[in-house]
Amino acid sequence: MEEELIGIKNTALSFILEAEDLQSLEDTKLQFLGRSGKLTLAIKEITKIPLEKRPAVGILANEVKKTIEEALLQQEKLLSKKKNENILKKIDVTNPGVKPTLGHLHLVTQALEEISTIFESIGFSKEKYPEIDWDYYAFSALNFPKDHPARDDWETFFIKGEEDKKMGKILLSPHTSTGQVREIEKGKLPIRMLNIAKCYRRQSDVSHTPMFHQFEGLVVDKNISITHLKGTLDYFVKSYFGDKRKSRIRPYHFQFTEPSFEVDVTCGVCLGKGCRLCKAGWLEMGGAGMVHPNVLKAGGLDPKIYTGFAFGWGVERVLMMKAGLEIDDLRLLYSNKLEFLSQF
């Protein structure tokens, strides 16, 4: 056994010294130290020799292993150095340089940043709320009666599990309005909150992704009126889409605002005159309205003293409208296809 070990050591050392590149050194390493390498197998045999001889053979085997490992390390250093020198020798400084490819932020991330900056510049502050929340904050506190059919419009993902008496089920937040009552409850006035976050709905087709983003504004104070809402919308539309664009509000219905509106923006091509692209001159952007008294009450405020407005739009939607992108499948945004993403 001792002789065998010494033999293995000698062959290994000569192989190591003869290795001319890192690959053959790696092969040698496997050949001796790998799972079915020569030394590994020999060490397994030690259990078969008589007990009294084992300690001495064991010590020898360890020494052999250490010697081989050290030799491997030395040779590896030597070969890597040689390799680097060879590379240096081959560099032709007159060759044009190779530009490293640079990444950039995803276009939705770019939009999130741009939108945040616009609202922060007029005094809104960004707040964060749970993405997984109670039914209460997504619906009940927003004046949706239990089992009201309007809840179905939000195509919500509910999470299986216990139901809380007051809070109801747990869900993936289907809109950023979930932050409204959470914000009012903090009891800090005036409120000028911007909630820009992921939302989830059970929809996946050419114009919907199950995860998307909304940005929501909520302003609550004494004497807040529709003119404040309209001014804020106009400011956003001009800052984001450009000076020539206008916004308008149309009556609509939401459970949590009264009155409620839908907001339109003039088409970027015809600026409101009407063209092939937009038909009537206006493009629909999203919802808005004056905070419903029941929502203020749910957050602990007296609606006779305080009023407020709220709006909530889709980030992906305004992004498409701004860029004039005609993507025939919105899911492309989240497909991680570099051919698509590197264009922005």
Choose the stretch contacting ligand PHE; rule: CB under 6 A; options: 26-34, 46-54, 66-74, 306-314: 306-314
Nearer to ligand PHE, 68 or 218 (CB): 218
| Residue 333, both tokens | 């945004």
Residue 185 tokens read as 């409850």
Candidates 37, 179, 287, 299; binder of ligand PHE (CB under 6 A) is 287
Across the beta sheet with 132-134, what order do the strands follow? Answer: 132-134, 168-172, 158-164
CA–CA separation, 272 and 258 (whole Å):
27
Residue 199: its H or E element: strand 191-200
As measured in angstroms, the least distance from the Cβ of 288 to ligand PHE is 5
Please pick, from the candidates 37, 289, 299, 308, the single residue that binds ligand PHE as defined by CB under 6 A. Answer: 289
Out of 38, 151, 175, 292, which residue is the one contacting ligand PHE (CB under 6 A)? Answer: 175
Provide the b/e sequence for 79-115 (b: ≥16 CB within 10 Å).
beeeeeeeeeeeeeeeeeeeeeeeeeeebbeebbeeb
Contacts for 147-152 with beta carbons within 8 Å, 24 or more apart? 148/255, 150/255
Distance of CA 263 to the CA centre of its chain: 28
Asked if 155 and 174 count as a contact pair (C-beta separation under 8 A), the reply is: yes
Q: Does 177 bind ligand PHE (CB under 6 A)?
A: yes
Q: How far is the CB of 210 from ligand PHE (least distance, A)?
A: 15
Alpha carbon distance 16, 13 (integer Å): 5
Q: Residue 215, interface with ligand PHE (CB under 6 A)?
A: no
257 binds ligand PHE (CB under 6 A): yes
254 forms part of the interface with ligand PHE (CB under 6 A)? yes
According to the binding rule CB under 6 A, does residue 112 interact with ligand PHE? no
If one asks whether residue 232 binds ligand PHE (CB under 6 A), the answer comes out as no
The reply to whether 288 sits near ligand PHE by the rule CB under 6 A is yes
Q: Write out the binding residues for ligand PHE, residues 307-336 only, by CB under 6 A.
A: 310-312
Interface with ligand PHE (CB under 6 A), residue total: 12
Binding residues vs ligand PHE (CB under 6 A): 175, 177, 216, 254, 257, 286-289, 310-312
